[in-house]
Chain A
Amino acid sequence: MSVVVHLPGPLRSLAGGRRQVTLDSSARTVAETLETLFALHPALRDRVVDEAGKVRRHVNVFVASESIRHTGGLATPVGEGAEVFIMPAVSGGVALGRALPALRGE
């Protein structure tokens, strides 16, 4: 089965510039999906989860439009064709992943 993981701007350079990664795997949960993703792109691991394996406090993971904080955390089921979004929480600001337009005179 396949799952699509969408990456936020600041993390794309750690995945070869990809905005999204399509995983062909047997992952049934978010935890297994992330493990598959980290195996492909190891630099994503320490940015998304801490050394205890928890999703970082100011990172949100969604399956479709639901935050996994409300659906069982890392054990949240992931079905065929699911879309998983990794996003920085609003607590720290937006992450455009591209340069802001230069101000006049800069």
Chain B
Amino acid sequence: MRMARRKPLPAKDGRVLLLVGTAKGAFVFAAGARRTGWRESGPHFRGSAVYAMAYDGRQGRRRIWASSASMHWGALLRHSDDFGRTWTDPESASVKFPPDAGLSLKQIWQIRPGRDDEPDVLYCGVEPAALFESRDAGETWSLVRGLHDHPHRPRWEPGGGGLCLHTILPDPAKRGRLLVAISTGGVYGTDDGGRTWRAMNRGIRAEFLPDKHPEFGQCVHKVVQHPARPERLFLQNHWGLYRSDDAGESWRDVANGVPSDFGFCMALHPRDPDCAYIVPLESDMFRCPPQARLRVYRTRDAGASWRALSQGLPQRGAFETVLRDALAVDALEPAGVYMGTRSGKLYGSNDAGASWTLLRDGLPAVLCVKTAVVAAGPRARGAHPGR
């Protein structure tokens, strides 16, 4: 890999996209399947914080979603159908609390396309913690009342970043099943499409509470679910690394051989459900890599052991933080792994994490990194029935 050049690359079939949200705007990177020679565009939404981005390639779409939050003018959900050349600038905010909720939207933390067989369903997780759903491909949105009315909600507490719903996992195999994670509230799940919810935190600890294993109140930082094995989940907690093999009913500690089980981000290998990536941080009091060595840790045995990946990453004086959505893995072979730091560095690996390259320096603080491989667009839909 080489450092990215500031010239946009027209995205087309097979190209890899990197969607990078920062504290001062969004950047879109694109490269060919070898993932060398990245080109970039941005910043889009200059001055606005972009906590969430997503790519929706369902039904032949080529749509990039982004949330832009201006300190002054509020948060908006936008999309682009031309890889960031133009963006929607909606007259009114589509994601907002209904009047009777008595709440006002602070931030959109997560945008998540729904299941492949529900191609017009999208979800947003927001601050203050709530889930919104769209059933018309993002045109209109509604608050998921079942979660909003949950009796636990008044007792959820804000974490360091705010009281946010930051993770949304629509079960790829079971329609109506959805998991979300809230800082701090923990993991909640529904089996009936959002009407009823229950806390699913059995085995996850809350280091900062007198009762270390409460029903809810854990500060879960990220949860990932393997598409080919949806009952397999990994979870990075505010202290604690966990795995579930029963779709979140119970969690077991898998912090075996990591320098710290504190961290924010987590990502899964696209094909191997035993392979996960994390970036451990020293502690909640010092959110930097242990020994100031920036290392990604990977397990290939479902958490029985973890190995450091450091080739190409700074191993001295690296006081970096990788936030909860700033680590991503693409779907190619070998998998590409990407991460952005709060100091504005974007690193990439095109060999599943074995070696790393600094793709871009000097960005604003990176809040999220998402990746997607561009599939055939609308013109090719006829050739791909069922896509």
Contacts and interface: CB of A to CB of B under 8 A. Distances in A.
Given A42-B91, A45-B92, A51 B97 contact: yes
Contacts, number: 53
A46 B104 contact: no
Q: Determine which residue in A11, A51, A52, A59 has the highest number of CB atoms from chain B within 10 A of its CB, and name it.
A: A51
Interface in B66-123: 70-74, 76, 91-93, 96-99, 102-105
B72 A56 contact: yes
A50 B72 contact: no
B104 A52 contact: yes
A92 B104 contact: no
A8 to B, nearest CB: 8
A19 interface: no
Interface residues of A, number: 22
Nearest to B103: A52
B92 A42 contact: yes
Q: Determine which residue in B70, B76, B99, B102 has the highest number of CB atoms from chain A within 10 A of its CB, and name it.
A: B70
A97 to B, nearest CB: 13
A47 B102 contact: no
Interface residues on B, range: 10 to 19
B328 to A, nearest CB: 29
Contact of B104 (A47, A48, A50): A50
Interface in A78-96: 88-89, 91-93, 95
A54 B104 contact: yes
A51 B99 contact: yes
B71 A51 contact: no
Contacts of A58: 71-72
A46 B71 contact: no
B231 to A, nearest CB: 38
A54 B76 CA distance: 17
A10 B76 CA distance: 15
Given A45-B92, A51-B99, 7 more contacts: A10-B73, A42-B92, A46-B76, A50-B104, A52-B102, A92-B47, A93-B47
Interface of B: 47, 70-74, 76, 91-93, 96-99, 102-105
Nearest 9 A-B pairs (CB), nearest first?
Answer: A50-B104, A47-B73, A92-B71, A43-B91, A51-B96, A88-B72, A46-B93, A58-B72, A46-B92
